[in-house]
Amino acid sequence: MKTLTTLICLLVLITSPVLALEEAYEFDDPSKQTLFIELTQELRCPQCQNQNIADSDAMIAHDLRRKVYELINQGKSRDEIVAFMKSRYGDFVSYKPPVTPLTIWLWLLPVIFVIAAAIFVFNQRKKQSNEFDEDVLAQADSLLEKEK
């Protein structure tokens, strides 16, 4: 039973969506094949906006896949292909946001938040321990004295 479950799990893992989408695109070079799979997953379909072009069945996604295939076979690099798409469909077409003065906050804000929170917590701690020391300790001591 356990082996059967393991086997089923393995089968499910192997049938990834990438393998389902091979279409007619074959490459002579395995590295080009990898690049094709990476790019079609990173590029976003301009029509069905929550899908990448590997996933989408919209005509535009078909066209973009074919274009990626053509460009890869022309020997274009990854950056060149992404630039080609961006020059036509804007930054929108890539799921990786570019670093601009506006988008830099996506990375900066969480860091600023963590640092600010750390400083806040640290300050609170310090204040608390300072207040604690003198008065409360004396009080506790006197209580202990009485108990004796």
Minimum CB distance to other proteins, residue 49 (Å): 6
Pick 66 or 125: Cβ nearer other proteins: 66
Pick 35 or 44: Cβ nearer other proteins: 44
Minimum CB distance to other proteins, residue 141 (Å): 32
Minimum CB distance to other proteins, residue 110 (Å): 14
Minimum CB distance to other proteins, residue 67 (Å): 6
Pick 37 or 58: Cβ nearer other proteins: 58
Residues that bind other proteins (CB under 8 A): 23-24, 46-47, 49, 58-60, 62-64, 66-67, 86-90, 92
d(CA 39, CA 52): 9
Contact by Cβ (8 Å): 126, 118: no
